[in-house]
Amino acid sequence: MTIRWKHLIILIIVLPLLGLAFAWSGMMGIRASTGHWGVTDWFLHWAMRNSVGTAALGVEAPPLDDPARLPPAAGHYETGCAICHGSPASPRPDSVLAMLPPPPDLKQVVPQWTDAELFEIVKHGVRYTGMPAWPSQARDDEVWGMVAFIRRLPEMDARTYIQLSGLRTSGMAGAVSPLPITCESCHAQNRLDGKSVIPNIAGQSEAYLLESLKAYAEGRRQSGVMQLAVSAMDPATFPELARHFASQASQQSADDAAASELVEKGRILAETGRPADKVPACLSCHEKADGNPVYPHLSGQPAPYLERQLHLFRGGTRGGTSYSHLMVEAAKYLKEGDMAALAAYFAGRKGSGP
């Protein structure tokens, strides 16, 4: 009995040392060019599938059928994912097919995963594969937008993809010009309507636009989509971008008017606040002619965008300019129904801004 125990202990000490010696010898293969053995490949994917499945157990998918989720996800996909996974408009480049493991064509694999599992993969990435995590870990709504988008990839044709992502075509049927995704791909006013989750930046305060771009670039405002959009830009170009969009005339997006009781509830809150609950009057800061230029215009913004931002402020996950703490305080005591009412009111309000 004692002899067996001794053997076991020796084995436990010696095995890791042997492993270490093997790695030290330089004989362990790390070449991507030779691929994995079939059994290694099976084992790694088996482990990944189990890990993703377990992590997704506690994740509950929200409804994903709102088409407004798709355009920002499609634009983000074109810049951040298509380079590895290809898209309905372009195949995977040869260079990434030599990666180990090669990034799969998502059209083929997406149906094998549940929404919650896709959420896990897109939010956290996959270690040792090159599959990156979502740029911002602080909020889930954008990740769900991406899940909604890739869920539709198997049936999506190139035209729909180009239209959703805002890619510019060269004019020939089905052909995509080499122009990358630009600010206009997502923010062009003719691509926005009252249901958008993308803000209208035309006619917004210049100071606010500039400070917001800096906030994304410096990671003080959380959005994987916008953080990626500005990541490759030189901050020296921000003042010009802010000036350009601030000087554009803003067209109010026409949409079915929201229920009038909702708008009326929003109006009262915006004008007088609710002092008993420490909710301030929104109009004491916003939409004032002599107000601080960093306070954004809200009038005419799409209601879903405004409502999302209010949720983010209330949840403490919306940073921004050096004044954003004021807005965090203003949103802290809003109740669930307040946010839809305020969003409906400001979306329909005529104002100087967007």
* Contacting residues toward ligand HEC, per CB under 6 A: 48, 72, 75-76, 80-81, 83-85, 99, 101, 103-104, 106, 109, 118, 121-122, 126, 129-132, 146, 150, 181, 183, 185-187, 198-199, 201, 204, 209, 212-213, 221, 223, 225-226, 229-230, 233, 241, 279-280, 282, 284-286, 295-296, 298, 306, 309-310, 320-321, 323-324, 326-327, 330, 342
Q: CB of residue 187 vs ligand HEC: minimum separation in angstroms?
A: 6
Cβ distance to ligand HEC smaller for residue 5 or 128: 128
Distance of CA 182 to the CA centre of its chain: 16
Q: Which residues, including other chains, have CB under 8 Å from residue 31's CB and lie 6 or more apart?
A: none
Cβ distance to ligand HEC smaller for residue 201 or 340: 201
Cβ distance to ligand HEC smaller for residue 6 or 325: 325
Q: CB of residue 282 vs ligand HEC: minimum separation in angstroms?
A: 3
Reduced to 3 states (helix: H, G, I; strand: E, B; else coil), residue 267 is helix
Cβ distance to ligand HEC smaller for residue 102 or 158: 102
Cβ distance to ligand HEC smaller for residue 10 or 97: 97
Residue nearest to ligand HEC (CB): 320
Q: Which residues, including other chains, have CB under 8 Å from residue 40's CB and lie 6 or more apart?
A: none
Separation of alpha carbons 212 and 67, rounded Å: 26
Q: CB of residue 17 vs ligand HEC: minimum separation in angstroms?
A: 31
Query: Whose CA is closest to 207, among 237, 234, 239, 235?
Result: 239
Separation of alpha carbons 101 and 110, rounded Å: 17
Separation of alpha carbons 64 and 52, rounded Å: 20
Q: CB of residue 137 vs ligand HEC: minimum separation in angstroms?
A: 13
Cβ distance to ligand HEC smaller for residue 14 or 177: 177
Q: CB of residue 258 vs ligand HEC: minimum separation in angstroms?
A: 15
User: Which amino acid would we find at residue 172?
Assistant: M
Separation of alpha carbons 325 and 294, rounded Å: 13
Q: CB of residue 328 vs ligand HEC: minimum separation in angstroms?
A: 8
Query: Other CB atoms closer than 10 Å to residue 266's CB: what's the count?
Result: 26
Torsion, Cα of 267, 270, 275, 278 (10° steps): 130
